[in-house]
Structure 1
Amino acid sequence: MSDKKTVLILGANSDVAKEMIALYVQQQYDVVAASRNTTALQDFLRVRSIPAQQVKVMYFDATAFATHRAFYESLPVKPAIVVYAAGFLKNNEEALRDWEGAYQMMNVHYCGAVSILNIIVMDTSNKALERIIGLSSLSGVRGRKSNFIYGSTKSAFTQYLAGMRQYLFDRGIRVHVVVAGYIRSKMTAGLDLPESLMLEPSFIARAVVGVRRAFIVVPGLKWKVIYHILRLLPEQFVARLP
């Protein structure tokens, strides 16, 4: 890899993360794209004609906590920007009956993030680190009966990033959380979601790559309105939501 700044994308095989790879490369960053499915990432780079010399694909399993330190220490360059984009979705009714599915969401969205990000931020020798970005969800804003298990994992992740933002303030490292609505992706394929509220992965990716100062970033005007309504809505009304 070159002497350019490096972006580490964890969970890089998601539809949004793949679009981020392309955008960061366009902005002249080097990228370490980390995922369990390295073959799919290599295929993506080839199809999109993304220069291989600017992207290094590495294996990373968010739930294999014991491997995280070795993974970090094996990075070719310590990152200036870290994006945590790993995701896993289980239907709420299924998650209520299937502990393994619920546990997987907890591990991917929260435990895995805490494990690897703690290692990254405690490496004070990495003077290049300037920004950490996490992909969260509107589902984590308020508990709702249709998705409260998934939502609780995203809420925990958001709160972790909020505290980390304060913890890293004196070091000048910015922390952001992108609170996204419905995204047209392989994770939501087959779900009955309102078409008028669907966002494209490329739109979310632009919000991530373009983040500047705000801690909470909500892409899309409609979703900004929904976010503020959810935050302010009395609990008696939230309880009536689907």
Structure 2
Amino acid sequence: MNEPQPVLIVGATSAIARATAAEFARRGHALFLTARDAAELGRIAADLRLRYGQPVETEAFDLADTEGHASLLQRVEASVGPLYGVVLASGSLGNAERTREDEGEAARLLHINFTAPALLLNRIARELESRAEGFIVGIGSVAGDRGRQSNYVYGSAKGGLALYLQGLRNRLNSCGVQVLTVKPGFVDTAMTYGLPGLFLVASPQSVGRNIATAVDKKRDTLYTPWFWRWIMLIIRSIPERVFKRLSL
């Protein structure tokens, strides 16, 4: 009997990450979950073990601690074996108003949404490349497709992550490692709860299913739900001379 292929879920306490973790456990993968909330990680892991009967290990870890990335990956391998895949779901919407006045808040958002994820994925990419197998999933946002005054710091970080993943995909394609860029629209999560102007809000469960299916099908980019691909195509096609006058 084959050993379950280990998948690391970073930011595992988010609603999208929980749903995605359930889909990979359903497919027979061993899981290693990381996030900052140890107690919540324990509850999620216990539920997944009970439901799917797969090995699930956890560790409380702050992705922003880039100096700890190498030792984290060593502990992951010691616990569940060499990684086959990673789902990078960590991030923070932050406070857009504060980023205009507070450089510390802007730096925090840029670090947690781009710099820290890219540095962790750099390390994981080297491991997968050496074995010529596996997958990397980076969860970005449709906010990264075009800069808007309402959230351009967050959006620029997610846009940078998408560009990073595109380059990583180009690099790893020849060795058979899949890199999937996920761009969710509005999803019913704690991060979006109470925000004004939300529409066409998807459930985390449907997004998790879409992500796992996209990995199965070796997709490169996933807009989820599917119609966001066309919504963002329209938004990207608006000429800048017009777009800059809009209040978005």
Deviations 1:111-142 (A, max 9, x none): 11111111111226852741111001011001
Say if 1:98 and 1:127 are closer, same or farther in 2 by CA, change over 3 A: same
CA 176–53 in structure 1, closer or farther in 2 if over 3 Å, else same: closer
Q: TM-score, normalised by structure 1?
A: 0.92
Correspondences of 1:10-89 after superposition (within 5 Å) = 10-46=10-46, 49-50=50-51, 53-75=54-76, 76=79, 77-89=81-93
1:128/1:14 CA distance change after superposition, 3 Å: farther
> Structure 1 residue runs of 4+, over 3 Å off?
45-53
Measured after TM superposition, the shift of residue 221 of structure 1 is 3.7
Matches of 1:126 and 1:41 in 2, distance apart?
30
Q: How many residues align?
A: 240
Work out the CA distance in 2 between the residues paired with 1:191 and 1:34. Answer: 27
Paired residues for 1:123-202 under 5 Å? 123=127, 127=131, 129-194=133-198, 196-202=199-205
SS for the counterpart of 1:96 is helix
The normalised TM-score by structure 2 is: 0.90
2:222 is aligned to 217
Do the aligned partners of 1:80 and 1:128 also contact (CA within 8 Å) in 2? no
Rounded Cα–Cα distance in structure 2 between residues aligned with 1:173 and 1:182: 29
Instruction: Check 1:29–1:47 CA distance in 2 against 1; reply closer, same or farther (3 A cut).
Output: closer
Give the number of the structure whose residues are more often helix, by fraction: 2
RMSD over aligned CA atoms reads 1.9
**What secondary structure, in the 3-state scheme, does the structure 1 residue paired with 2:167 have?**
helix
Higher mean C-alpha deviation, range 9-18 or range 208-217? 208-217
In structure 1, which of residues 208, 213, 218 is the aligned counterpart of residue 211 of structure 2? Answer: 208
What stretches of structure 2 of length at least 5 have no aligned partner? none
1:234 corresponds to which residue?
239
